[in-house]
Structure 1
Amino acid sequence: MAQKTNKVLKQSGIVPYRMNNGTIEVLLITTSSQQDWVVPKGGIAGKMSPHDSAAKEAWEEAGVIGEVNPIEFGSYKYRKNGKIYSVKMYSLSVKMECDRFPEAGKRIKQWVKAKEAVKHVKKPSLRRILKEFAKYESKIDTM
Structure 2
Amino acid sequence: MGVQQTHPRRLALHTSTTFESLSAPQFGALCFRTMENGRPEILLITTRETHRWTIPKGWPIKGLKPHEVVEREAWEEAGIKGKAKKKPYGFYTYLKRLADSRTVTASVEVHALEVKEICLNFPETGQRTLIWLPPIEAALQVPEPQLKELLAGFMANEIGKIGS
Does TM-score exceed 0.5, indicating one fold? yes
State the match for 2:119 in structure 1: 98
Q: Check whether the contact 1:44–1:54 (CA below 8 A) recurs between aligned residues.
A: no
Partner deviation per Cα, 1:72-128 (whole Å, 9 max, x = no partner):
011122222322221101010000000101111110111111232111222223212
RMSD, aligned CA: 2.1
Distance 2:66 2:95 in 1: 20
5 Å-filtered alignment, 1:1-143, equals 3=14, 5-6=18-19, 7=21, 8-21=23-36, 22-33=38-49, 35-81=51-97, 82-132=103-153, 134=154, 136-140=155-159
Q: Check whether the contact 2:94–2:144 (CA below 8 A) recurs between aligned residues.
A: no
User: Would you tell me which structure has more strand in proportion to its own residues?
Assistant: 1
Task: Tell me how far 1:20 sits from its aligned partner.
Answer: 1.0
Partner deviation per Cα, 1:48-87 (whole Å, 9 max, x = no partner):
1111101111001110001111110111222223222211
Runs of 5+ consecutive residues of structure 1 not aligned to the other structure: none
Runs of 5+ consecutive residues of structure 2 not aligned to the other structure: 1-9, 98-102
Task: Tell me how far 1:137 sits from its aligned partner.
Answer: 3.5
Distance 2:120 2:50 in 1: 17
Task: Tell me how far 1:15 sits from its aligned partner.
Answer: 0.6
Q: Check whether the contact 2:26–2:57 (CA below 8 A) recurs between aligned residues.
A: yes
Distance 1:53 1:138 in 2: 24
Q: Check whether the contact 2:112–2:159 (CA below 8 A) recurs between aligned residues.
A: no
Distance 2:71 2:157 in 1: 23
Q: How many percent identity over aligned positions?
A: 34
